[in-house]
Each structure stands twice: as C-alpha cells, then as structure tokens.
Amino acid sequence: MAFLEIRDLTKQFGGLVANNNITFDVLEGEIIGVIGPNGAGKTTLFNCITGVYRPNRGSILFKGEKISGLRPYEICKYGIARTFQLIQVFSDMTCLENVVVGTFLKAKHLDQAKERALRFLQRLNLLEKKDILAGNLTLADRKKLEVARALATEPELLLLDEVAGGLNTSEVLEFIEVVRGINRSGITIILIEHVMEAVMNIAGRIVVLDGGKKITEGSPQQVASDPQVIEAYLGEGYRA
C-alpha cells in the first residue's frame, strides 16, 4: 500500500477532460515532481487530491483510506496540506496571524498557536517579518509565508504548486534548500514545477502530464531524455 495512490483519476469540465485516467503512486518520504506544459492538468490534479474538485471517475487513497470526494477541510485533517499557484495569503493579516490560522488546526488556544506559529516562521526565515501585513511582502516572502502556513497544519503530505515561479536565482536556491529541509523532517512532498533547475534537483521521481494524460514517469534523468517528454515541451514552444 503506497502512501498516496491515484487510480484512473478522471476530471472533466463540460467537454474538456482535464485529468484523463491518471494513475501513479507516491511513496512515503519521497519528493515527487509533476511537470508538463501549461494546461496539462497539473493544478487540476492537485485540486482533486485536496478535495477542491470531486473526480468524475477513479479514486485517490491516502494511507489506504479513500479521500477522493471529501471536502478540502476534511482532507486537511487527514494530513494533506497545499500551497496555491496564485498566492492566497490573507493580505490584511500579519505574517504571524497568517500562520496562526494554520496552527489552530492542532493548537488549543491563542498563546499555544502563536508560539508554534513563531517556530514555523523561523524555519522559513520569516521571523523578523512576523508583524508585517502579508499584503506588503515581496512575492518570494509571500510564497514562503504560504508554505509556512501550510506546514503549520502539521501535514504528512505537502503539495507545492509552482512555488519557484517568479523567483530569482538565489531565491530558487533558497527554495530548494527549504524543500529539502521539509522533506528531511519527514514530510512527503509532491511539487508541480515549471522551473526545471528546481524540480530536477529536488525530486527523486518525476511524473509527466500532457493534455490531461500521464505520459511517463521515472527518475529526472530518464524523464529528461524521454523523446515523448521532449516533444511535449518543444512541440509547445515551451521554455522553462
């Protein structure tokens, strides 16, 4: 029994099949990357896993239990957290308050929640900015904040949606370290990425989607030299 099992996952919007019979496993403790051209269905996949969408067909099992079709807040309680492609921090709350909303999943009262939140902020190097409104942060800091907030719910599986997008080189390097650190602390990670330097360096395995279907999976080296993958990208005129 794998940590996360995705079986024949299909999600349709009217005539558009965004996810078409996708099947793969995620093993506990690994970092798995999901790549593919724009519109391949990556975020839809995340949305199905986290309960935002209910799949039309297929199922998703987490630690042996069926989670497909559950509401997002129920899935969070199972131990799955996520970040969003378009950053969704609470702009009118401070960084600390943002993370506190996350820690309240497990914490009982405010002092406990704040104490734990401060530790998560520290792990993401945001401690000095704890009283700054999230809306006033730089893009990179907002992305870190969203990760800190998701971590605050103490998940076992973390889904990162294009976190490296829009970051400069040093920020990407920092991001790679952060993700490795999270994984070392025992959290399994699935990341959607367009930034190849990031995903090829962090992920142990890669799943490639194109046009809603999974076209291949394997190690970064295997995937990078797979002719189907190259065609999917170059055929789209895509550049990382």
* Chain contacts with other proteins (rule: CB under 8 A): 50, 52, 71-73, 76-77, 81-82, 84, 88-93, 97, 100-102, 104-105, 107, 109-110, 113, 149-150, 152-153
Query: Which residue number, 76 or 172, has a Cβ lying nearer to other proteins?
Result: 76
3-state secondary structure 128-166: HHCCCEHHHCCHHHHHHHHHHHHHCCCCCEEEEECCCCC
CB of 161 to other proteins, least distance (A): 11
Query: Which residue number, 20 or 103, has a Cβ lying nearer to other proteins?
Result: 103
Query: Which residue number, 73 or 227, has a Cβ lying nearer to other proteins?
Result: 73
Sheet holding 4-13, edge to edge: 16-26, 4-13, 57-62, 65-66
Give dist(CA 89, CA 133) in Å, integer: 10
Tell me the two tokens of residue 91: 């702009």
Q: How many angstroms separate the Cα of 226 from the Cα of each of 204, 211, 231?
A: 16, 17, 9
CB of 60 to other proteins, least distance (A): 16
CB of 214 to other proteins, least distance (A): 24
CB of 154 to other proteins, least distance (A): 10
Query: Which residue number, 4 or 208, has a Cβ lying nearer to other proteins?
Result: 4
CB of 84 to other proteins, least distance (A): 7
Tell me the two tokens of residue 169: 């080189």
Query: Which residue number, 117 or 206, has a Cβ lying nearer to other proteins?
Result: 117
- DSSP-derived letter for residue 54 is -
What 3-state class would DSSP assign to 17?
strand
